[in-house]
Amino acid sequence: MRPHRVGWLLAACMMFGAPVAPVKAAQPAYLTSVLKVRQLHPNMYVIEGPANGEGPNPNMIIYATGHGVVVVDPWFAIDYLHVLAAIRSVTSEPVRYVVNTHFHEDHSGANAEWPADVMIIAQDNSRKHMLEQAMPGPPNITFSDELTLHLGEKTVRLRYLGPGHTDGDIAVYFPEWKTVCLGDMMAGTKGVTNPVVGYASGGTLAGWPRALDKALAFDVAEVVPGHGAITGRDGLVAHRDKVAAIGDSLRAWDRAKKSAAEIHDLLISTYGFKPINLASLDGLVTEFR
């Protein structure tokens, strides 16, 4: 996605593979001041996406282990120096690992900016998509199902969730604080989360609740969505149940012979779908036909 230049609609276009002409970057307003780093725990911080998740930048986790820093979802290339300054404002430890929850540019765009000794990690399919789309900085460590990082006494567990938002989404779990980062498997604004299904990248709504169950199999206390407010296990369970309910509704609306236009309106009135969620309407209708 390249959304901070032209907004969510372009983000959706990028996500679903429509060709997009290059747009000259304007300096985003949030880069004209120092990024705000919020401390979640003594050695864990978040740079929250500006505008309460409404903007394009995801939540970024900074985890200082005493044996190096792990960063989750490093924003866009244009953000790199600001992000580095923000990290330096809270720890002098070197960054050792940068994790992409999936391949979209807001979660991986800065990959190539990091020094060569910083390892970039993502699931196999995310690397595949980055190579296919000639995106800079494809990960140099990938995995299929599970990967554990060991930094001194600390561990970070990465788990492939199976297809959902894309076919390369992972959960990043920090046992020390029972915190899980979900990338765009949970994303929204102002407490309202809704699925954005990247059908062109192997996404699925029907499989999404099952994917979230794999994240819930961790001992979860704190949940960091890709975009929007940090919540707890209850918030994740509610999100999972909502995604399942949307699937049930799509099945019922298909049985009731609703048109795509009627389903479009029902998704807005019943679940508060926004344009970015509705960008996958055709895929949703087809998947549940």
Residue 209 main-chain phi, psi, to 5 deg:
-60, -40
Pair 262, 253: CB distance under 8 Å = yes
**Residues 34-53, mask of contacts with Zn ion (x by CB under 5 A):** --------------------
Nearest approach, Cβ of 260 to Zn ion (angstroms)?
A: 24
Q: How far is CA 60 from CA 71, 73, 144, 241, in A?
A: 7, 5, 23, 25
> Six-digit token pair at 112?
């190539």
Tell me the CA end-to-end span of the chain in Å, nearest whole number: 29
Closer CB to Zn ion, residue 2 or residue 104?
104
Binding region for Zn ion (CB under 5 A) out of 46-54, 81-89, 180-188, 257-265: 180-188
Nearest approach, Cβ of 98 to Zn ion (angstroms)?
A: 16
Residue from the set 105, 167, 169, 184 that interacts with Zn ion by CB under 5 A? 184
Q: Which of positions 207-236 make contact with Zn ion (CB under 5 A)?
A: none
Binding region for Zn ion (CB under 5 A) out of 31-39, 43-51, 104-112, 261-269: 104-112
Letter string b/e over residues 20-32, b meaning 16 or more CB atoms within 10 A of that residue's CB: eeeeeeeebebbe
Residue from the set 104, 127, 129, 154 that interacts with Zn ion by CB under 5 A? 104
**Residues 137-176, mask of contacts with Zn ion (x by CB under 5 A):** ----------------------------------------
Find all residues with CB under 8 Å of 218, minimum gap 6, and list them: 157, 159, 171, 173, 178, 180
Residues that bind Zn ion (CB under 5 A): 104, 184
